[in-house]
Amino acid sequence: MRVTKAQAQANRAHIVETASALFRERGYDGVGVAELMAAAGFTHGGFYKHFRSKADLMAEAAANGLSQSLVNTADLDVTEFVNIYLSRAHRDGRNAGCTMAALCGDAARQSGEIKATFADGVESMLAALEPDDSPGDVDPHTVRARMIDMLAHAIGAVVLSRACPDDSPLADEILEVCREKILATLSPSQST
């Protein structure tokens, strides 16, 4: 039975979404093509009808996950973002959480294509988080530096917290301390 072009596109999108969640949960090396395809409901042999290699899927899945993160934060101000990002729910929800917190360490050891995908994702996130109400006398470089610091601090906090055992009080302490420090550094107009 032939698959229509529309069905093939839908199948590919489903594989990418499944891969995005599995890669965030287990890392790029933590899931193989056969397991990934089975999780998506397809046979291993069908993989190469959609992708040239696992690396191609990794790049597409990263772009998908980074896009989802942008959609999830689109209507949040910086304070809301920090409170949600540095929560236990986000820390524990690896497969549905931020691709950057889940895979930056893995991406650093991957191809230039995957690194470029992450760099684009970071730039998009910084643009989305940049406050619209910065006073006119604040240098745009200063605002960008503040957003880079906040994002790096938040991602690092989640990574450190996830490195601790799930029932560790330290896992929660890291999130709490970093959340408080980040919120304290935001300008008064951002932290209200």
Question: What are the pLDDT digits (tens) for 124-170?
Answer: 999 998 877 666 667 888 889 999 999 999 999 999 999 999 999 99
Residue 188 has pLDDT above 60, yes or no: no
pLDDT reported for residue 192: 41
pLDDT reported for residue 191: 43
Is residue 86 within 8 Å of 180, Cβ to Cβ?
Answer: no
pLDDT reported for residue 156: 97
Residue 90 has pLDDT above 70, yes or no: yes
Helices (H) and strands (E) in the chain, counts: 10, 0
- Distance, C-alpha 163 to centroid of its chain: 17
Q: 10 Å Cβ neighbour count for 145?
A: 11
Q: Give the whole-angstrom CA distance, residue 89 versus residue 172.
A: 11
| Mean pLDDT across 75-104 | 94
Question: What are the pLDDT digits (tens) for 4-52?
Answer: 889 989 999 999 999 999 999 999 999 999 999 999 999 988 898 899 9
Domains and CATH numbers, the chain: 53-185 (1.10.357.10)
Is residue 114 within 8 Å of 59, Cβ to Cβ?
Answer: yes
pLDDT reported for residue 46: 87
Q: Which of 162, 161, 159 is nearest to 175 (CA)?
A: 161
Spell out the residues 6+ positions from residue 43 whose beta carbon is closer than 8 angstroms to its own: 37
The secondary structure of 142-154 as a DSSP string is HHHHHHHHHHHHH
